[in-house]
Amino acid sequence: MNDNKLIAEFMGGEHPLTEITHEAHHNYHTSWDWLMPVVEKIEIEGFDPHGIIDNALGSREIEDVHDTCVTLIKAHNYEEKEKSS
């Protein structure tokens, strides 16, 4: 599973900008407009208790923030899987 697909699934499917760009799941790694709603969801749902995403945002590099989001989503998915086992 590629990282953008993982993010799209975390976000519940299609991104609102998909209708405009017609490029589903391809822009999380290149567009702040796509990535920031992911950051917001991670923060709102409490998936980053140590503030790792804030450190990534401090770098001002989209690659750092994208990679951190992917890491946190994978950790969240792993925890959910362990709970259901």
pLDDT tens profile 15-74: 555 554 445 557 899 999 999 999 999 999 998 888 899 989 999 999 999 999 999 999
Domain total for the chain?
Answer: 1
Parent domain of 42:
3-84
Q: What is the pLDDT of residue 68?
A: 96
Name which of 71, 33, 41, 77 is nearest 55 in CA terms: 71
Phi, psi of 30 (to 5 degrees): -125, -10
Confidence of residue 83 (pLDDT cuts 50, 70, 90): confident
Max intra-chain CA distance, the chain: 40
CA distance 66 to 82: 24
Q: What is the pLDDT of residue 24?
A: 55
CA 65 vs. chain centroid, Å, equals: 9
Query: Angle at Cα 70 formed by Cα 64 and Cα 72, nearest 5°?
Result: 100
